[in-house]
Amino acid sequence: MAKAPVLTPQAVDFPRWYQDLINKAELADNGPVRGTMVIRPYGYSLWERMQQDMDARIKSAGAQNAYFPLFIPQSYLTREAEHVEGFAPELAVVTHGGGKELDEPVVVRPTSETIINEYFSKWVQSYRDLPLLINQWANVVRWEMRPRIFLRTTEFLWQEGHTAHATYEDARDYADMIHREVYGDFMVNYLGIDVVLGRKTVRERFAGAINTLTLEGMMGDGKALQMGTSHELGTNFAKAFNTSYLSGEGKQELVWQTSWGVSTRMVGGLIMSHGDDSGLRVPPRMAPVQVVVLAIKGDDTVIAKVREIGERLKAAGIRVQVDDRTDTPFGRRAVDWELKGIPVRVEVGPRDLENGTAMLARRIPGGKEPVSIDALDALIPQILEEDQATLLRESRERRESRTVDVATIEEAAEAAATGWGRIPWADLGPEGEAKLAEQGVSVRCLVAEDGSVPDGYDVPGTVAIVARAY
């Protein structure tokens, strides 16, 4: 039997467990500059799977991929006052290049609203050019004071969508569609994380936006993680960059805009939402490897059989890796695959072959059982879907069991020590929000009584979700 990997138990020290797992599952290392990270191949394969699925969803929403420069003239950021104020503490600024001082400092991209608007103002001439829907896959730099791999790093990878519309309503509806149908569906049905969709408060919304929609996930320790955001920018950047169009009535009008993004932070969310004391548990729909077929011993017949099983499962549309490295002890290999969270292991040895069976180990619910080798093709797809549903159910049950209704600021802070609190926004308000912030507790989002996203900040019955957050 495989020995359990040596990870700090979650209940003892959750942050230490997280760091142990990143190291032992070979996901990432710290980079040479404080706050940067080196994403190792397995960690990057998780991001690639997220990226591929998200890219298809974004394109289905009508957006096209483009690329904009990493370096942005500093003067661009100063055109929108709230935006530059919000990002000023995080900026990395280049003042010298080519051995001499630059005529104008350039900012290393923290986000691209400003440089993209510079080009939107050139590309948009009339209402016929709208809507303009652009997405970019890129890296960004925000100088992070308290870095943590995947969650907060000085440089990280993301996608950022930027759109221009003829009317407020069109922009609002597009931001909402990205929030619900692209991000929400992806996180719930692909990542298996039961996120809460809500509206950010004025204090928490994106610098330069008139509204920010968020997706908040509860991690294994009860803290919140902002998994993605979709912003209504109004005409704030359009005014600053004169991004306007000639309407059908012959009038010059400012465009209405959105921006939205998710990042490698989702890898951290995946780890902290689904991982356990034995390592990762990767949702089958997004797992780079859904099944690993292991040869227990270096018997030629066994090795031939595991390769044959691998080919059969691949033909059935399953992502498979064959592990026939019998010069490495079986126990060590089994532990490594368990650490990496591969949903299913099919283990084959000489005795199994005699019986026409294989040992099937399921990472997500746990446990092993012998199954007929001939039944694997039909059985495994069913198991993968069951395990995907299990992770989502566990995520939902954790959030529901660790979210409590509270009536006072004191009760809200107490609830945030172990999970989330729900308090009527009318009883909390901006003043109460500021008092919670002094205790390291934030309003993660506002939701309606029925759990939907409220239409505004002062809608009767609006509830604030409060928590400590990463």
Residue 172: both structure tokens together: 């609002």
pLDDT tens digits along 203-228: 999 988 999 999 999 999 999 999 99
Is the pLDDT at 370 greater than 90? The verdict is yes
Q: What is the mean pLDDT of residues 309-315?
A: 97
Q: Please, what are the domains in the chain?
A: 14-274 (3.30.930.10), 291-384 (3.40.50.800), 403-467 (3.30.110)
What's residue 457's pLDDT? 84
* Cβ neighbour number for residue 367 with a 10 Å cutoff: 9
What's residue 77's pLDDT? 87
> Would you say the pTM of this structure is higher than 0.85?
yes
Is the pLDDT at 5 greater than 70? The verdict is no
pLDDT tens digits along 107-122: 999 999 999 999 999 9
Distance from C-alpha of 195 to C-alpha of 279, rounded to nearest angstrom: 22
Is the pLDDT at 185 greater than 70? The verdict is yes
What's residue 88's pLDDT? 81
Is the pLDDT at 279 greater than 90? The verdict is yes
What's the pLDDT band for 327 if we cut at 50, 70, 90?
A: very high
Among 403, 416, 356, smallest CA distance to 196 is for 403
Q: Phi and psi of 440, rounded to 5°?
A: 80, 20
Is the pLDDT at 184 greater than 60? The verdict is yes
Give the position of tokens 């729900």: 422
